[in-house]
């Protein structure tokens, strides 16, 4: 039985009756049909890129521009046709980013308070252990511009993903309830930022945040952050009116260091994933004030 036939069977039959239709000598598509399972990522088509294919490049002609974008559009169609029925499939885990070589470093944007006159420095590179290394130096010296009141942060962000014709690729995390990171840190506290797509321009600076702590030392940590714990901020300020994040429209994920401690830092990252934990039932950890009544 071919891999395509297995997918068609998976879309039409229940999970309980699917196992008998999968011979043992076929490529792995589903690990277990009676529980939440892992999917073979080789069965999907990558129809997005960190380098926006919808932008005109310096050496672009109309033909090369259309050819590039139509290719990504065709991959998106193939991914839709090849993907199993989402109502019949429950993923246990999905990799958002994983270190696969020096080119993986190009997936991130790096910034610091240097853009507003500060003295902090931040960089990303490949570590000697073949992992991504986020490192630099935090300097809380406030620039003498008469406007800035606080300084001292370093930031890295997974680039926005784009499909054909300048279309933003939004990640759908509705089937998951936790964000997990495999890191090796230096004992400092970092903050994870998640940016959802917002409907109103007034919400363009909204972010969802949560802090994680590193041990330092030679050992790796598997950090698990429930989505229900993420709190809403706007322009770096905690909001009184809290609300759960829209998990079907996540644009990017970032990591920031701003613990008000001068000095060097380093954080190694192996992968970033989302997972489903069946033992976690909390929907939102904070009191929701206000709101509109229709």
**91-134 residue pLDDT tens:** 788 899 999 888 889 999 999 999 888 999 999 999 998 999 99
pLDDT in tens, 51-88: 777 787 888 888 888 888 888 888 888 877 776 665 55
Please state, for a pLDDT cut of 70, what percent of the chain lies above it: 80
Range 85-96 burial, b when 16+ CB lie within 10 A, else e? eeeebeebebeb
In sequence order, the β-bridge partners of residue 250 are: 171, 196
Which parts of 185-262 are beta strand (E)?
189-196, 206-213, 221-226, 231-234, 237-238, 250-257
pLDDT tens digit string along 231-257?
999 888 888 888 888 888 899 999 999
pLDDT tens-digit readout, 196-225: 887 776 777 889 999 999 998 889 999 999
| More confident position, 184 or 85 | 184
Report the b/e string of 137-152 with b at 16+ CB within 10 A.
Answer: ebbbeeeeeeeeeebb
The arithmetic mean of pLDDT across residues 273-279, rounded, is 92
Domain at 96-275: CATH architecture: Sandwich (2.60)
Kindly write down the DSSP assignment for every residue of 141-159, as one continuous string: PPPSSSS------EEEEEP
Sorting pLDDT into bands at 50, 70 and 90, what band is 45?
low
- Does 32 score more than 50 pLDDT? no
In the chain, CATH 2.60.120.430 sits at 96-275
Work out the number of other CB atoms within 10 angstroms of the CB of residue 178.
19
pTM: 0.76
Kindly report the backbone phi and psi dihedral angles of residue 135, in degrees, each rounded to the nearest multiple of 5, phi listed first: -145, 170
Give the residue-averaged pLDDT of 21-30: 39
């Amino acid at each position: 039985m071919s891999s395509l036939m297995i997918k068609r069977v998976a879309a039409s039959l229940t999970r309980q009756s699917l196992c008998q239709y999968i011979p043992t000598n076929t490529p792995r598509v589903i690990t277990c049909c009676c529980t939440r399972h892992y999917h073979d990522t080789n069965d999907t088509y990558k129809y997005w890129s960190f380098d926006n294919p919808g932008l005109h490049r310096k050496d672009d002609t109309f033909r090369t521009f259309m050819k590039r974008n139509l290719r990504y559009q065709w991959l998106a169609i193939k991914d839709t046709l090849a993907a199993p029925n989402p109502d019949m499939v429950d993923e246990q885990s999905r990799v958002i980013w994983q270190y696969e070589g020096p080119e993986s470093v190009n997936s991130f944007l790096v910034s610091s308070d240097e853009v507003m006159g500060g003295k902090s420095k931040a960089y990303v590179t490949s570590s000697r252990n073949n992992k991504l290394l986020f490192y630099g130096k935090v300097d809380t010296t406030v620039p003498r511009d008469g406007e800035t009141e606080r300084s001292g942060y370093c930031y890295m962000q997974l680039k926005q993903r784009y499909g054909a014709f300048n279309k933003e690729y939004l990640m759908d995390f509705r089937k998951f309830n936790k964000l997990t990171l495999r890191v090796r840190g230096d004992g400092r506290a970092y903050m994870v930022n998640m940016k959802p797509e917002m409907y109103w321009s007034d919400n363009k600076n909204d972010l969802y945040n949560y802090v994680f702590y590193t041990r330092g030392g030679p050992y790796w940590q598997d950090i698990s952050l429930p989505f229900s714990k993420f709190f809403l901020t706007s322009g770096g300020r905690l909001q009184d009116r809290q609300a759960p994040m829209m998990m079907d429209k996540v644009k990017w994920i970032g990591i920031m260091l701003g613990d008000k401690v001068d000095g060097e830092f380093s954080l190694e990252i192996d992968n970033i994933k989302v997972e489903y934990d069946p033992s976690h039932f909390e929907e939102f950890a904070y009191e929701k004030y206000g709101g509109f009544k229709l």
